[in-house]
Amino acid sequence: MRYEDMEYENCENVLRYIISDSGNPTRAEIAKRLGLSKATVTQIVNRFIAYGLVHEGQRLARQGKGRPGNPLSVNKDMWFALGASLADNTWQFVIADMTGSIVDSYEIPVSHMTQENFIDTLICGLRHMMEKCPGRFLPGVGVGAPGVVDEAQGDIVFAYDYGWDSRLNISGRIRDELGLETFVMNRNDLAGIAEYKYANPEHEQSMIYIGIGQGIRAAIFSEGHIIRGADGRAGRISHIQIDPDGKLCSCGKRGCLFTIANEHALLEDVNEMLAREDIPSSLRVCTGSLSAEEVMSDAENGDRIALKAVRNVASAITKAIMILSVVLNPRKVILGGPIGDSDALVGFVSDELASRAGQRDIYPAVLRCSIKPYGSALGAVGLVIDHAFHLIHEDFIAFAKQQ
Ligand SMILES: [Zn+2]
């Protein structure tokens, strides 16, 4: 390895360690953890402090032998990152500091969801947010996209939610228009990344985020890494077969999770029950224009038809979680998205999981998502912060040479 490459790698690793370790490590702790000499870490950290990336706190109280070090943390006041994600046909934009705290947000609805409007609106919002950055701007952007994403190319491969079956290149367009490096990922995976990075105080390394809305998708974290799979398609759990005799799915199989638990299936179930059952329900007044949000909110208020429909979704989601648990042994499962973000659903799933557990089964805790409404856009910021050193390294090396 060339000396320059080794230096680059050491700088990147030290910065990532300081960003990810909320315990404010000292230079000596970083050196020990990364297997580097104290002199190397001290030189890198001192340059980061001078450059405004790292903040040095007051010396810790003496513990044991030796001189205690100063606690280090990422500088929250100087550098900022930009992320965007599509939610409900609206682009959401956030600017956050290096710890992932949102300092500004913005939304623009996409008028007609064509590929052209989708990307034009994205560029327009990014340009607006770049002008509002309150400090130095990390010259990259994270983007949460619908559908199956080719992360290496920065393309949407296809997005059935919108009937798009041709590739759409996002990275190239942003590079041409705004000169920014772009990191594109599925929007649901980014919502999972936000929960993993910024709402995971116990630093659980094995967990699953399941987003339930127009589609159903899992972001799977195992031993500290998100699982991508051979073709980047790991986590497309909507096509787990729940009922072999169930409804025909768009994939050609019968009774996939998608046919029972997505927004469309939920509304179909509610409408069938309203027509069939003579139970009073506040949902009767809005039939025809019923939305999944209304059903979920009425379930929270105890509406019996809504609760029955949510219980049917919960039953299917529970079966999927049981399969995932046997294969992956996650410690917790977070439910999010328009249907998943619900106390009623989380309660039903938790109860059903407990009642189905066998003697030696260890099932995960099921929790409601906690980062909203900008979870996915914040996950996109997280991608930019992960690549912070890569994005600034040329400027940083030029700065370090002048020191
Ligand atoms: Zn299917």
Q: How far is the centre of ligand 1, averaged over its atoms, from the C-alpha of 147 (Å)?
A: 15
> Does the structure show a pLDDT above 90 at 233?
no
CA distance 154 to 149: 7
Ligand 1 centre to CA of 257 (Å) is 7
Question: What is the CA(244)–ligand 1 centre distance, in A?
Answer: 11
Are 242 and 256 within 8 A, CB to CB? yes
Q: Do 157 and 293 fall within a single domain? A: no
Q: Note whether 360 and 382 are same-domain residues.
A: no
Residue 158 tokens, joined:
């296809």
Mean pLDDT across the chain? 93
For residues 68 and 29, the answer to whether their CB atoms sit within 8 Å is no
Domain count, the chain: 3
Distance 269 CA to ligand 1 centre (A): 18
Name the residue among 374, 381, 369 with its Cα closest to residue 90.
Answer: 374
205 and 302 inside one domain = yes
Do residues 364 and 289 share a domain? yes
How many whole angstroms from 237 Cα to the centroid of ligand 1?
9
Quick check: is 399 in a domain? no
Q: Is residue 112 part of a domain?
A: yes
Enclosing domain of residue 24 = 3-75
Domain CATH code at residue 10: 1.10.10.10
351 plus 221 within the same structural domain: yes
Q: Examine the fold and report which residue of 55, 75, 95 is the final residue of a domain before the chain moves on.
A: 75
Q: What is the pTM of this model?
A: 0.93
Domain co-membership, 206 together with 285:
yes
Between the CA of 352 and the centroid of ligand 1 the distance, in Å, is 23
pLDDT of 91 strictly over 70: yes
**Is 262 within the bounds of a domain?**
yes
Claim to verify: residue 252 and residue 361 sit in the same structural domain:
yes
Would you say residue 205 lies in a domain?
yes
Q: What is the pLDDT of residues 110-123, one digit of tens each?
A: 999 999 999 999 99
Quote the ligand 1 centre to 256 CA distance (angstroms): 5
Cβ atoms < 10 Å from Cβ of 100: 22
Residue 286 has pLDDT above 70, yes or no: no
- Give yes or no for residue 288 having a pLDDT over 80: no
- With cut-offs at 50, 70 and 90, classify the pLDDT of residue 66: low
Q: Dihedrals φ, ψ of 210, to 5°?
A: -115, 115
22 falls in which pLDDT band (50, 70, 90)?
confident
Q: How far is the CA of 159 from the centre of ligand 1 (A)?
A: 15
Rounded to the nearest whole angstrom, what is the distance from the C-alpha of residue 309 to the centroid of ligand 1?
20
Phi and psi for 284 in degrees, rounded to 5? -65, -30
Residues 61 and 145 in one domain: no
Residue 330 neighbours by CB under 8 Å, 6+ apart: 206, 207, 208, 220, 221, 222, 324, 364
Beta bridge partners of 211: 217, 336
What is the distance in A from the centroid of ligand 1 to the CA of 303?
30
pLDDT in tens, 198-210: 999 999 999 999 9
**Is residue 49 domain-resident?**
yes
E runs forming strands in 227-326: none
